Structures are given as structure tokens and as C-alpha cells.
Amino acid sequence: MPDATPWDVQTDVLVVGSGAAALTAAVVAAAGGAQTLVVEKSELFGGTSATSGGVIWIPATQQALAAGHADSPEEAFQYIRALSDANIPDARIWAFVRQGREMVAWLEAHTVVKMRAHPYADYHPEMPGGKPGWRSLEALPLHSSDLGEDFARLRPPHPAVQFLGRVSWTLEETGALLFRIPGWWQVAVRVFGNYLLDFPQRLHSRRDRRLTLGNALLGRLKLSANRYGAQLWLNAPLLELVRTDGRVTGAVIQRDGRRVRVGARRGVVLAAGGFERNAEMRREYLPRSHEPRWSGSQPNNTGDAIRAGMQIGAATLNMDSAWWGTAMSLPGEERSRLMAFERALPGAIIVNANGERYMNEAASYHIAGQQMIARDSDAAHTIPSWMVFDARYRAAYPVGPVIPDFPDWVQPAAVQAVLTRADTLEELAAKTQLPAEKLKATIARFNAHAKLGTDPDFHRGESAYDRYYGDPKVGPNPTLRALETAPFYAIRVYPGDIGTNGGLATNEHAQVLDGSGAPIPGLYAAGNMAATVMGHSYPAAGATLGPGMTFGYIAGRHAAAQSPAG
């Protein structure tokens, strides 16, 4: 039945959410001449995208090709098709690999979003169509002064993507500082000097005004949205969608304590993140990883828009899927810290409750997280697992917020609470309740092979991706070194995530589908609230934001081209 209740506000395109997928949709729609309104549930814009590393995976971009790195949409399709699920149609994969690079080129030409390619290896580069690098991009740094008042409304980075939870750095700077390669001192002086000498900011705020990674990307997208006149409402959660004669014609939004009916003449784009912070939905769809605190996502992703779509008949797909990862959880922190690289560095292993290795620790964090869940059993619990490392590792590399070169007693109380230290392996086993003989045997076997640069049990370091996070100063295998130097350390590791990626079913135009597979007119979805084109796989760094922004681009363009409803 038609809904005859008048609208309180009308716009052409309504975008729900304010992360990378949402703002890409908004920028494209507004640039196409559509009056565009973005509504954000919380008091800050940017979503989990703003808190993230901000890496965008787009194959065959002009940035990579111009630098001499051969690639093609056909190779990318071959790679994704082999990794993704059978229930993901070819048409959606082709839409991503063809229009992803179109999206990047369009942003470069028409907005202030500027990117550079990075030599980040695909997570499975040995597979047909995989590449050893240059498909991942990052936004160029930005200064907060460019954002003006919007800086105070931009969601800050996750502490895990900054040094000491304060100092921003780029991907290139991260590598120089992590491995202390030649010239790292100059990088350190520039990065930390920029932060420490930023007066008067240092007198009243710890926040770095040099924006990098996810903050740079979302800052640039917001500036671009401003350029084209897209409007943003904060503290404006979605309550329900309005469907009239089968078409989604708007939504009910809560604003200033009242229900506001917003009409959308051309379409509604849902891009409000996944459901990873919803305990009830996790118990239903992710029972093996049911704890919301294990997620590294920001706390507002509770699946509101997914449920709103389901209430009007939208189909869902792969609701048991997430962007998994090994994670550590600190007391007092509401979300986990993804362990993206620590596992691959030489001098550390991960063991189960029996003190045994059970995976290639240098595999992608998604694969490592999946292994934690898949291998958990009453006979050998892997939830939680223990990451075990020695004093040489402790002195050389960071482990989440555990800072190398800083004595244990200087570490923050929350870090000391999760860092177990012992003078011997027997003592470490007692403190962690791991079986001492099993743990010692596991380490002895690992050490013997590590000295030869091999891992016959799990093939660590054989893949180009494994070696990406290895230490180039260590040989013959940059991911392997014996654990021999006391004291020894251990940290609990959990199967965390950076967001769910199962959600509303969509087609190659980002249109939401109903139970029969037909598009619901006027309704689009992109980002983590739409079932990802990657299925249950995670092909490369940026495989979250890349498809999210691509299908946001597709949704914004498709919606803006529609004839106004009513």
C-alpha cells in the first residue's frame, strides 16, 4: 500500500552511513547533480574506515600501470574468482575489477582524493592472477587545517594505526620504522618532530593534525563532498526504510529526539557498516567468535541498516562471514587491536592450549583468524591462543602497544596486564598454564628448522606475502628466527575481526535484491553491510575498502541517474 504520510525533508539521494563507501556514493551522486543527504548514526563521521589503515585494493590502476607494474582486470577477475564463493556472481566480480580503477581515476580527476600505489603483496600472490604488489593504494596525507571545523567531527584513528596511539604515519614510513632500514632515523625525526613541535596543538590535545591512512582518506572524501554540496547530519540514526508501491522512497531518521521522514526521490544508499558490535547478531551468525570486544571495529556498527533492509524483504548472503584477524584485547579498551604483522616477524610463534603450533603464523591475518576458529576443539583449544616470543624479538619489534626498547616496567598498566614474562620456558608454561614439555618440544622443533630458514610443518616464509612482513635483515628466511634468548614472553591472542562482511545481497549495480533475486527499486547497498564480492576470502590489503568504495561509486552514479520518484 502507498504510504501517504508527507515527508518532513526531501532529497534526491539519501546515503546512510559516513565511511568510505558512503562518502564515495555521496560525492558521486552530488557531482552528478543529485541533491544528496548523508545521515550518520553517531556524533562523528568516517565510520570504521576513518579508524583503519585506509588501504584500498584496486587492481590495474593508472598509478600502478604508469609505474611499470603490469596488471589487467582479466588477471584480477581470475584471482578473485578462484578465491571467492560460488554464490558470488561473475557479474559482480567483473563490475569490481572494471569499475574499481574507473572509480580511482574519477576521484583523481574530479575530487581532492589523491592516492598512490604501494608495493603491498596480494595475500595469495602465487595464485593465477595474483600479484607481488602495487594493487594496494593509500590516500596522500592531509593536514587538519584543510578540514577546518570538520576535523573535530572526523572519527580519530584506531590507536593501533598510530605510534603510542598518537603519532600518525604513512605505509611507507611504517615499513622504515618497523624494520629500522637505512635512513629510518631521518624518518623518525621527521614524523615525531612534526608531532612534538606542533604548537599550540600539543598544549591542549594529543591528536596528530597530520592525517594519514584512514583519516586522510575520509578527510579527503569529506572535502570532496563539501565541494559538491552534499549535506551531512550527525547523531541521525536510521530507524526504518519507507517502501511505497514496492519502491524504497525514503527512510525514517531520528534527529534531535524526533522521527524525521526523509524522502529520497532517486534512491537510498545503505553504507552503514556491518553488525560486528551487535552481541545478539554475533551469537546468531558468528557463534565461534561471539564477543563484540574482540572486534577492532568502532562501536556503532550494530547492523541497524542490515536489519532495516531485512524488514522490507531484502535478501542476505554469507552472514557467517567477516574480515577475520588475530587480535589482542587490552583491559579498559572497548575494541581489540588487530595483529597484522607481529606474527610474521622472526622470533615468535603462536601455539594452542596444548603448546603446539597449528598454522603458518605469517599468513594473512584473515587466514590466521580463520584458522583459530576452524581448529578450536575440546582436544586442542585455539581460542584463545598464545603468541610466544623471546627477548630478541621483544627488543626489536612492537607487539601491538608493547614498545620495543622500552623496559617492561615502563609499559602502560594495561599492557603489563596482558604481557606474560618468564626467565625460563618452564616458568612461562606455568604462568600460561601451557604444558611445559609440549611447549619446549614445539619450540625446539621450530628452532632447529628456523636456523635453516625452513618450516616443513607450515611453510612459513615461502609465500611472497609471508615475506612482506618479514625482517629483511634476517636470513635466509626473513620470517624465521629461533626463540632462544631469555626472558621469554607470551600474549593471549583472540579470533578478532575488523568488521563483518556478510549482509544484504546486491547485484552488479549495487542494487539490493529481494528473496527472489530481483532488485528492490530505489535501494542500494555498499561497504560491509552488503555481502562482499570476495565471499569468505580476503585477497589483499584493502579488499574491504576497495570494493566498498567501488560499489559506493556504482550506487551513487546509478541512483543519481534514476528518474525522480513521485
How would you write the pLDDT of the chain (566 residues) with one tens digit per residue?
Answer: 445 579 999 999 999 999 999 999 999 999 999 999 999 999 999 999 999 999 999 999 999 999 999 999 999 999 999 999 999 999 999 999 999 999 999 999 999 999 999 999 999 999 999 999 999 999 999 999 999 999 999 999 998 899 888 999 999 898 888 888 888 999 999 999 999 999 999 988 999 999 999 999 999 999 999 999 999 999 999 999 999 999 999 999 999 999 999 999 999 999 999 999 999 999 999 999 999 999 999 999 999 999 999 999 999 999 999 999 999 999 989 899 999 999 999 999 999 999 999 999 999 999 999 999 999 999 999 999 999 999 999 999 999 899 898 899 988 899 999 999 999 999 999 999 999 999 999 999 999 999 999 999 999 999 999 999 999 999 999 999 999 999 999 999 999 999 999 999 999 999 999 999 999 999 999 999 999 999 999 999 999 999 999 999 999 999 999 988 75
Q: 454, 474, 497: which is the final residue of a domain?
A: 497
Domain assignment present for 302:
yes
Say if residue 125 is preceded by a cis peptide, omega within 30 of 0.
Answer: no
480 Cβ partners below 8 Å, 6+ apart?
A: 346, 449, 450, 453, 454, 455, 460, 461, 474
Q: Which residues pair with 322 in a beta bridge?
A: 500
Domain shared by 480 and 430, yes or no: yes
Which alpha helices (H) appear in 321-435, and where do they start and end? 365-374, 391-396, 413-418, 425-432
**CATH code, domain carrying 303:** 3.50.50.60
Half-sphere exposure of 50 (CA within 13 A, CB side): 27
Domain shared by 284 and 398, yes or no: no
Domain shared by 119 and 252, yes or no: yes
Domain shared by 64 and 80, yes or no: yes
d(CA 458, CA 100): 34
Give the burial class of 153: count Cβ atoms within 10 A of its Cβ; 0-12 exposed, 13-18 middle, 19 or more buried: middle
Domain assignment present for 307:
yes
**CATH code, domain carrying 331:** 3.90.700.10
**Which residue type does 333 have?**
E
Domain shared by 116 and 255, yes or no: yes
Domain shared by 32 and 91, yes or no: yes
Domain shared by 257 and 303, yes or no: yes
Which residue range forms the structural domain that includes residue 460? 325-497
Domain shared by 298 and 358, yes or no: no
Domain assignment present for 176:
no
Domain shared by 330 and 418, yes or no: yes
End-to-end CA distance of the chain: 14
Domain assignment present for 216:
yes
Domain shared by 376 and 283, yes or no: no
Name the pTM for this structure.
0.95
Distance of CA 118 to the CA centre of its chain: 17
Domain shared by 45 and 78, yes or no: yes
Half-sphere exposure of 521 (CA within 13 A, CB side): 12
